[in-house]
Amino acid sequence: MQRVWSWGWLLLTLSVASAQSDADPLQQRVRFREPAQPVRQILQTLSRRAEIRFVAAPEVKDEIVLIDAENLSLRQVMDGLALALDAEWTPQPDGSYRLSRPVKRAQQRRARDDAHIVQFWREELKKRTPENLERPLTEAEVRATMRRLREMMQEALAQPDRQSRFDNLMNFYKPLEQISPLTRLLHRLLAQFDLRELTRIPINEQRVYSVRPGRYLLPFPKDAEPLVREFLREMAMVSSVYRDPTDGLADLVSRFEQQFGFDPVEYLLPPAAPKQLPQHEIYLQVVRQSELTLAIRLYIRRGEGVREADIMTDSVYLYQRGASLNLPEEIRWREQPIMW
């Protein structure tokens, strides 16, 4: 009996060992919770823990990645890394795995991503663009909007307890942006651009466009002079109506500012209009803050001074909250560590 049991135990042990040897080693469970680090260092750690050699190609070895993996298969971790880096794994004759980024694959994925980004920017710009931008602003439109704003200001002044600073600003903003010469010029300049060109701006870098030549200045895609002339015309008209005692706002702004602590029109309707404006005084700054985020600001300098009061600005901010890259839920990564 003892001998039979021993042989049975031996056969069972050999069977289990054989099954384990036949199992895919990439299905072994791993835990990886380390600070953000270069890919080459991550693969060294995985190699020690999994007893499988992993190698990073030169184009990916120095990229910074953060992995937070709890009880995942080794294959899942490898797939997450490849997805994060636009890379792929290649088995080697010696049993190791090499992580590399084929040029063609990277280009194809970059093209798809850029197309999605451009579509997002177009949709966001459409939400923010004044409705009547394709035609010249008329005095009748300005007066109608000013009368509406005047009524809103008078109502707020009559019932201060029911208004808040934030509510007032939001109520004023939409009508104002329809007639703001600065906002209209900003969006007209942006309409000149092929947004695909802006995807070439690296993250955390900026481009500044101007007619003025300079080492770090880029030209506008098209002649900006007609847009500047239209801006000056609209600016003069809006400023004139703004000071009108019947339809304007000038007589109410000081009272409103005293009561609520802010001027609701100062950023979009500067009361002093320049009579002429050389093109080299206009700058359009485009900052790529993240893959999807663009911060665009228009700067116009009046006169020869450099005081803040001599600068008129307007801006548009294109971004998406809670953007997802559709990575596996268990794996979270970043190309760069967060800077607090």
Confidence category of residue 7, pLDDT binned at 50, 70, 90:
very low
The secondary structure element, H or E, covering residue 336 is none
Average pLDDT of the chain is: 80
Mean pLDDT of all residues in 272-297: 81
CA distances from 313 to 52, 183, 185, 240, 297 (A): 58, 9, 11, 20, 7
The runs of H, that is alpha helices, within 191-224 are: 195-198
State the amino acid at position 178 in one-letter form. Q
Ordered structural domains, the chain, with CATH: 2-101 (3.55.50.30), 109-318 (no CATH)
Q: What is the pLDDT of residue 84?
A: 87
Mean pLDDT of 291-315: 76
Looking at residue 4, its pLDDT comes to 37
State pTM to two decimals. 0.69
Mean pLDDT of the 276-302 span = 85
Distance (Å, rounded) from C-alpha 286 to C-alpha 297? 7
* Reported confidence tier of residue 110, pLDDT bands at 50, 70, 90: confident
- Are 54 and 99 in contact by the 8 Å Cβ rule? The answer is yes
Query: 203 falls in which pLDDT band (50, 70, 90)?
Result: very high
Residue 153 — very low, low, confident or very high, per pLDDT cuts 50/70/90? confident
Contact between 285 and 169 (Cβ < 8 Å) = no
Average pLDDT over residues 282-308: 83
pLDDT per position as a tens digit, 68-86: 888 899 999 999 999 888 8
State the pLDDT at residue 187.
Answer: 95
Chain centroid to CA 261: 32
- When mean pLDDT is compared over 192-206, 300-314, 325-339, the highest value belongs to 192-206
pLDDT of residue 175: 86
